[in-house]
Every structure is written in structure tokens, then in C-alpha cells.
């Protein structure tokens, strides 16, 4: 290839074509950038065999002498840009030009010029450069600071490397941080570095017995709520792992500490768990601060955690607005989910207006905010939640009457149908789950029509095995109701109780005595759908919809279905008539009738 100064054209030329060297699909390529509406150049590129890249938004050819000469022959308006430094070109596409002489020297490619040039990559903060080896630039490999007993490796997805690194013992993918965690062990280090061909990690191996950092835990009184003890501690993953797993413990951002109910049992458990770590344990309170009277029940714990989390979402100068909202919701005995939803919607409203005083906002400001939500594509349910939250704040917190609080417009609701599975699909989903606990959760969702929260909060005392009934306590709307206990799952309950032996809640989570989380139930359904090879976009709540629809198709009176589902209005239950097969299977389309008549006429 040869370039001279005459080939350089002004960049503002309408038909100018800028050539760059890029790394694409495992090899270097000549990228051509030009105006998207230049149809003539686009057609000519197609004739030369160039292909369009959606990633780089350009047309490209293999990086060799023949293709460059081909471009030079058919186009006289080429601009050569930044072809000397492939590393900078691939990362930030800088616009630094090289002289014609440098370009001519760099682009003098031999006949076998498709070999990649040496590419030295700095693999993160603690990685080392290698003069003998090169890292594939597609990876954009980075080594982050170690976390606990793991090195952290971040890279782009390249199938060859991903398959290799997954086979190394001690390496796993962290979905939350989107990075690979490499156990700090010599064998893991050797195998991972062999895959990439360069040294990546320091020799700071993890040895459980040797820690230089002294561990301290100090116990203080908690002024905001004397039922809790406040634990200040040395920032160390070993202590965090212990404190976060203590029953009813919670972390507060404001104090940068853990809170634990101040009961003698919790103090004893804390000392026992910390005894293996050689922790310096200091009490800054009297022994009588810990009392059995300070035990906290489940409802109080949930509401306290919700309030603390919601207050931590806003800065100090805006906490008064959120705290007033939460206090009023709790005073009116709203459910935890309603408190969370209303306050979260109200907080988003404050964030959008830089935490301004809501009392000083007018109707026009609120309408503009609702309009913006609709513009972002949010569904009407989100808009209704915002309207409900704002009306609650202005009516109950600020105590405005209907005249003062104006009329906030409500988004028009979409009339969507519930997503229902067929009987065969429900059978395949349940059969795809082998773990007894997970199978029983899905059986209850489909066999009794329970909501996810109702399954998680189900207690053994709520089940009457003699009468085959389940009492759902404090369901949606704080209502109790009775549902059937299917005969076919009695054996599953007996087997489950023998295996797990839970005392209070039927399904317990990681912490003994605490209920299973709704998120875990949703994950069970997600994996079951994948195993059963069902592509419908449904979730575990769809089993409840399927329960109602299949009862309706079986001839059950709709009013009985209403009671089983716990609906206030029959109108809510009648929606299942729209998805029932009975409503459409006996109706013949005029097109089918026309086709039959045409076939009969042809036979005659």
C-alpha cells in the first residue's frame, strides 16, 4: 500500500471516506466510514465485497494490500486516519492523524500481511505487561482489586476463552458484578494465566489461618430504637459474613453498622459465632440492656427493615418528607408491600424534582411528571401508583381537602388478559422439577391458587390435613380465606416434612425460622420453564391464573372461584372467561364455514 499527501481530503467533504484499522471478528480489518445517506458509495462497497458491521457502524474488508489497492482504485476521496496505533483505534477511536510518510511505512503489507501485529495490553490494575505474549484485544481484559479470597477478572465475552476459564477449578461467574471470581490459590493462578498467556495476578494467595488485620466488634445502644443493639465492626468479609447471617440482623447505611435485637439469646449467639475468629469483643452497654422483652416479631421486623431501607434512599435534607409518608402509612396499618410501593413512587417523584418541597409544587408540575413517565413507555399501572402515592401524601400527610389537592389525571388502563398455561404445560413444568421443596411450592401455586407471598408465609398451623383445607391468613388486602388442600399432594407434604422438619413456616429460607423469599420462588419457576422447554413469557403467578381458568373450564361456578382466589369483586374473576377455551372452542369462524362450503361444492 502507498499513501501520499494528495490522498488526504478535507473532512467536511460530503463524499469523503475515512479508513481506519479495526479489530473485528478475530482479525484486523480495513474499516470505511462515510455518510449513511451516500447510496452510491454504499452500492460500490457491496460490489467490492465489503460487509457492514452493526458494532462499529462501518463497512469493512480484510486488512491486506489487495483490498487497500482495490479501495484506492475505485475511490479518490480516501482519508487515512489513525492506522498506526491499533490499540488506541480499537479502544477510543482517537482522531489523531499520522503523516503520509508514517502511513506509507506502516501500511506496507507483505503478501502474507494478514498476520496480526503485536498487541500489548495492560490487563487491569494489578496485571503485568508481557513483551513475549499478546492478549486478544477483543477481551478488553481487566484485573480488579481482590475481594476477600478471590481475584476479580473482568472481560468481554469471547467463546474460546470463556469455555476454557469455566473449566478451571476455583473460578466462577458472579452475575451481580458481571465478573469472574478466581480463588486466590497457586493452581488457579497458574491455569488461568496459561489460558491468556500472560501473568495476571500477584502472589497474594489466600491462607485462612494467616490474617494480619485485627478484628474488633463493639456493641453500643441504638438511640432511635432501644429494642436494638448497634454493632460497629472492622470492615472485613469474615465479620460481615457472620453479622449478616444473624437472625433478624440488618445493616444501616446512616450509622455504617449492623442492628441486632437486644435479647440475651442474640448476645450469646453473637459471642459463640465470633469465638472462632479471635475477635476483640467490647460491650459499651450494661448487661441489663439485653432483655427478653426486646424480642421483635415478624411484622415489626419487616416494617422496621422497610422503613430503614426507604429512608436510606434519600439524602438527609429530604428524609423528613419520606419519614412523614412512611409514618402515616404505618399509622393507617397499610401492608408492607403498599408502604414500599407508595413510598418508592413518592421518592422517585422527589428525585425527579431535586428533592424540592412537595407542598410548593402545583398541579402543572405533577401533570408534567406523569406525562414524562408515559413518554418513557411506562405502563398505566406505574402511573396509577404515582397518582395514588401523591394523593395519599397530599390528603393524609399535608391534610389538604379535595379542593386544595386539585384533580390529578389518571392514565387510562390497558385491558390486558392474564397469561395462562395449558393443563399439559402445567404438568410438564411440575415434572421438570425434581427437588422436593421446589416441587411442593409449584404444586401449591397451581393446586390451591396461592400467591407467591402466601406460599412463603404459609405455616404448618394453617394447614388442616383432616379437612383438606388451607387457611390463608392476612392475604392481599389483609383478608383471611379458605382454599382447598389437594388430595394428591398429601404424600408430598409428608415426605417434605420428613426431609426438612421445619417447625413454624412450611418453607424456610437460609436463616432458620425465617420464611422463604418470593424471589427464590420466582427463580424456581424460571428454571422449571427452561427445563420443560416452554417459551411462553410467564411467571409463577401464571400458575394461579391457570388454576382459575382450568376450574372454570371444568364447570366450577365462577362465584366459588371468586372466593377461592380472594377477589372482592366478581368483575375481577370474570376476566378468566376471556381466556377460557370453553368461550371459543364451540364457535366456528366464518372463514372455516366458507372453506367447508367450497370443498363440498368442488366434490359435487
468 is catalytic: no
Of the candidates 356, 349, 335, which has an alpha carbon nearest to the alpha carbon of residue 391?
349
Cβ 133 vs Cβ 120: under 8 Å: no
28 is catalytic: no
Full strand arrangement of the beta sheet holding 78-80 = 51-53, 58-62, 27-33, 17-24, 78-80
541 is catalytic: yes
Set 227, 353, 476, 527: catalytic member: 476
544 is catalytic: yes
Longest dimension (CA), the chain: 102
Query: 3-state class of 167 per DSSP?
Result: coil
Half-sphere exposure of 272 (CA within 13 A, CB side): 7
Helix residue spans in 285-335 (DSSP H) = 298-312, 319-331
Long-range contacts of 507-512 (CB under 8 A, 24+ apart): 507/437, 507/440, 507/441, 507/455, 507/456, 507/458, 510/245, 511/245, 511/247, 512/247
CA 182 to chain centre: 23
Set 21, 437, 439, 544: catalytic member: 544
Set 250, 309, 379, 541: catalytic member: 541
Residue 292 cell numbers, joined: 427478653
- Bridge partners, residue 231, by sequence: 219, 258
427 is catalytic: no
65 is catalytic: no
Cβ 412 vs Cβ 536: under 8 Å: no
Set 60, 439, 451, 550: catalytic member: 451
DSSP 537-565: ---THHHHHHHHHHHHHTT--HHHHHHHH
Cβ 255 vs Cβ 230: under 8 Å: yes
Active site residues: 451, 476, 541, 544, 567, 576
Amino acid at each position: 500500500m502507498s499513501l501520499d499527501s494528495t490522498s488526504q481530503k478535507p473532512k467536511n467533504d460530503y463524499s469523503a471516506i475515512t479508513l481506519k484499522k479495526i479489530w473485528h471478528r478475530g482479525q484486523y480489518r480495513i474499516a470505511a466510514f462515510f455518510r449513511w445517506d451516500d447510496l452510491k458509495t454504499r452500492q460500490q462497497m457491496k460490489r467490492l465485497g465489503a460487509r457492514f458491521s452493526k458494532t462499529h457502524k462501518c463497512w469493512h474488508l480484510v486488512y491486506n494490500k489487495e483490498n487497500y489497492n482495490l479501495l484506492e482504485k475505485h475511490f479518490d476521496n480516501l482519508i487515512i486516519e489513525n492506522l498506526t496505533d491499533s490499540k488506541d483505534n480499537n479502544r477510543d477511536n482517537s482522531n489523531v492523524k499520522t503523516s503520509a510518510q508514517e502511513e506509507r511505512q506502516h501500511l506496507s503489507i507483505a503478501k502474507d500481511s494478514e498476520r496480526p501485529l503485536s498487541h500489548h495490553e495492560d490487563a487491569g490494575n494489578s496485571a503485568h505487561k508481557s513483551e513475549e505474549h499478546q492478549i486478544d484485544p477483543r477481551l478488553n481484559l481487566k484485573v480488579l482489586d481482590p475481594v476477600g479470597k478471590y481475584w476479580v477478572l473482568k472481560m468481554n465475552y469471547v467463546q474460546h476463552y470463556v469455555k476454557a476459564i469455566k473449566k478451571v477449578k476455583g473460578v466462577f461467574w458472579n452475575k451481580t458484578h458481571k465478573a469472574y471470581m478466581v480463588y486466590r490459590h497457586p493452581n488457579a493462578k497458574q491455569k488461568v494465566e496459561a489460558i491468556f498467556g500472560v501473568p495476571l495476578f500477584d502472589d497474594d494467595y489466600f491462607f485462612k489461618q494467616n490474617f494480619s488485620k485485627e478484628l474488633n466488634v463493639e456493641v453500643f445502644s441504638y438511640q432511635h430504637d432501644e429494642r436494638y443493639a448497634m454493632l460497629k465492626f472492622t470492615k472485613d468479609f469474615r465479620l460481615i459474613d457472620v453479622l449478616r447471617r444473624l437472625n433478624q440482623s440488618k445493616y444501616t447505611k446512616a450509622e455504617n453498622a449492623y442492628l441486632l435485637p437486644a435479647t440475651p439469646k442474640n448476645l450469646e449467639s453473637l459471642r459463640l459465632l465470633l469465638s472462632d475468629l479471635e475477635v476483640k469483643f467490647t460491650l459499651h452497654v450494661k448487661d441489663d440492656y439485653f432483655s427478653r422483652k426486646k424480642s421483635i416479631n415478624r411484622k415489626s421486623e419487616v416494617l422496621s427493615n422497610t422503613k430503614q431501607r426507604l429512608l436510606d434512599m434519600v439524602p438527609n435534607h429530604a428524609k423528613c418528607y419520606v419519614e412523614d409518608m412512611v409514618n402515616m402509612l404505618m399509622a393507617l396499618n397499610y401492608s408492607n408491600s403498599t408502604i414500599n410501593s407508595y413510598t418508592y413512587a413518592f421518592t422517585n417523584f422527589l428525585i425527579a424534582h431535586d428533592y424540592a418541597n412537595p407542598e410548593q409544587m402545583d398541579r402543572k408540575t405533577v401533570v408534567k411528571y406523569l406525562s414524562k413517565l408515559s413518554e418513557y413507555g411506562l405502563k398505566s399501572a406505574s402511573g396509577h401508583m404515582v397518582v395514588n402515592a401523591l394523593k395519599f401524601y397530599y390528603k393524609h400527610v399535608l391534610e389538604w381537602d379535595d379542593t386544595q389537592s386539585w384533580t390529578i389525571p389518571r392514565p387510562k388502563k390497558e385491558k390486558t388478559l392474564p397469561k395462562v398455561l395449558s393443563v399439559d404445560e402445567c404438568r410438564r413444568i411440575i415434572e421438570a422439577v425434581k427437588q422436593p421443596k421446589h416441587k411442593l411450592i409449584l404444586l401449591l401455586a397451581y393446586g390451591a391458587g396461592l400467591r407467591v407471598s402466601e406460599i412463603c408465609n404459609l405455616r404448618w398451623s394453617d394447614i388442616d390435613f383432616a379437612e383438606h383445607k388451607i387457611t390463608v391468613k392476612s392475604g392481599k388486602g389483609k383478608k383471611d380465606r379458605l382454599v382447598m388442600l389437594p388430595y394428591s399432594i398429601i404424600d408430598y407434604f409428608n415426605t417434605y416434612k420428613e426431609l426438612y422438619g421445619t417447625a413454624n413456616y412450611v418453607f424456610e429460607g437460609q436463616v432458620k425460622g425465617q420464611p422463604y423469599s418470593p424471589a427464590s420462588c420466582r427463580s424456581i419457576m424460571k428454571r422449571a420453564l427452561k427445563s420443560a422447554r416452554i417459551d411462553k413469557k410467564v411467571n409463577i403467578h401464571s400458575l394461579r391464573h391457570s388454576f382459575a381458568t382450568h376450574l372454570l373450564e371444568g364447570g366450577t361456578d365462577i362465584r366459588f372461584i371468586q372466593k377461592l382466589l380472594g377477589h372482592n369483586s366478581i368483575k375481577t374473576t370474570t376476566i378468566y372467561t376471556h381466556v377460557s377455551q370453553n368461550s371459543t372452542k364451540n364457535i366456528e369462524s366464518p372463514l372455516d364455514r366458507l372453506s367447508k362450503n367450497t370443498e363440498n361444492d368442488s366434490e359435487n
